[in-house]
């Protein structure tokens, strides 16, 4: 189910929402030039981490892994980025939207149990995958 086109679109929209939320939070939290820097730098850093650290041959991504990591590390990265963006929504005072966003993220992961299982299997260092050099 995790590679179904509708779920991939749903995942993409969640990722865009997370990055957009980070930018909006940075804009609202900063003042002057710092506001502009935070609005662009926070989501940029999150997007870079999200794109660079990957599990080789992840079927929900392109398969490329600029910096190969284990499935557990990848899952922690994803959940951390979503958790930070959900916290930012709450911090901005939009508690209903924060709850809705959290429910959407949880729903996505429930629909992607096959990917979660795959990621956790890729966490086993003895699975013969020599590409997992980091962690």
- Answer yes or no: is 127 within a domain: no
Q: How far apart are CA 1 and CA 4, in angstroms?
A: 5
> Model-level pTM?
0.84
Residue 46 resides in a domain: yes
Is residue 134 domain-resident?
no
Q: Is residue 105 part of a domain?
A: yes
Return per-residue pLDDT of the chain as tens, 135 residues.
Answer: 667 788 889 999 999 999 999 999 999 998 999 999 999 999 999 999 998 998 888 776 776 778 889 989 999 999 999 999 999 999 999 999 999 999 999 999 999 898 888 888 877 554 444 454 444
Residues 6+ apart with CB under 8 A from 60: 2, 3, 8, 11, 112, 115
Structural domain includes residue 29: yes
- Residue 39: inside a domain: yes
pLDDT value of position 1? 63
Q: Which domain holds residue 37?
A: 5-51+72-121
Asked if 6 and 63 touch (Cβ cutoff 8 Å), the reply is no
Say how many domains are in the chain. 1
Stated length of the chain: 135
pLDDT for 2:
66
């Amino acid at each position: 189910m995790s590679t179904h086109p509708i779920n991939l679109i749903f995942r993409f929209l969640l990722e865009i929402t997370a990055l957009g939320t980070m930018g909006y939070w940075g804009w609202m939290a900063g003042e002057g030039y710092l506001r502009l820097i935070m609005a662009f730098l926070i989501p940029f850093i999150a997007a870079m981490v999200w794109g660079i650290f990957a599990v080789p041959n992840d079927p929900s991504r392109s398969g490329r892994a600029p910096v190969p990591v284990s499935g557990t590390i990848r899952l922690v990265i994803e959940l951390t980025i979503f958790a930070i963006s959900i916290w930012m929504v709450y911090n901005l005072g939009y508690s209903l939207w924060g709850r809705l966003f959290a429910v959407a993220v949880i729903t996505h992961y429930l629909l992607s149990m096959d990917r979660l299982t795959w990621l956790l299997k890729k966490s086993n260092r003895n699975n013969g995958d020599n590409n997992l050099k980091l962690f």
